[in-house]
Structure 1
């Protein structure tokens, strides 16, 4: 089985799956909205991740009426938000480790942190 990021689908297959013209996929690539892999012979190959990205682009353009410049901004913001959420998760784990170390040194109220969507929740346990 192929990984989510592994480019395996030809442009004609992706166009057929998504019911769009191959030229639309080429336009999305020219606009920088997608970046398919390439074979040694320069043929485009798309991964499942690329297909999901194209579905998002189609949803924004067809259903919400966003133009391609707007789609580019939305996708960049989404990627930045994903990066920030990953950073928050890393900090949450580090904070939890520090809290555990602190609790081992002095058993007082230690915060328990749990993730809820894009927000952090801090709950203090009563001893």
Structure 2
């Protein structure tokens, strides 16, 4: 896979409607209809010309696939909205997990855990597990 030129990514609006239609295997009028219905929201130039990104082209392909499977445009709109929301929520969960892990690691008296045949137990920092063969899980401080 070739790298994109500097400053461009999958969200860069670089394709005209004709190019996006060709890449997606659709007619340009179909893209206009999908835009009106809110299935894809291409960027607009100063002259109000549609410009599509690679992400938009991927979304158009997804719409085409769902449509070919018999899903109505309203159904597709709802599926895409839920998919977008799911993606946003997953990203937020990752952010919150990272923030929580950082906060826990900065707390005084961090916990150390040992895992053995009897399960997971908390042990005092600096102490050794009481049973041989236990695995100690600890994450050191930063710095």
TM-score interval, normalised by the smaller of the two chains: 0.7 to 0.9
Take 1:34 and 1:6, find their aligned partners in 2: how far apart are those partners?
A: 14
Pairing 1:1-127 to 2, within 5 Å after superposition: 1=5, 2-62=8-68, 64-102=69-107, 105-109=109-113, 126-127=135-136
Take 1:124 and 1:48, find their aligned partners in 2: how far apart are those partners?
A: 50
Is there any run of 5+ residues in structure 1 with no aligned partner, and where?
Answer: 111-122
Q: TM-score, normalised by structure 1?
A: 0.78
Which residue of 1 is the match for residue 132 of structure 2?
Answer: none
TM-superposition CA deviations, 1:53-102 (whole Å, max 9, x none)? 1111111111x211100001001111111111112111211221233234
Q: TM-score, normalised by structure 2?
A: 0.70
Q: Higher helix proportion, which one?
A: 1
Take 1:8 and 1:108, find their aligned partners in 2: how far apart are those partners?
A: 52
Greater Rg over alpha carbons, structure: 2
Is there any run of 5+ residues in structure 2 with no aligned partner, and where?
Answer: 115-119, 123-134, 137-143
RMSD: 2.2
Take 1:58 and 1:124, find their aligned partners in 2: how far apart are those partners?
A: 53
- Contact map agreement 2:24 2:58 (CA 8 A) in 1: no
TM-superposition CA deviations, 1:85-125 (whole Å, max 9, x none)? 112111211221233234x5244329xxxxxxxxxxxx989
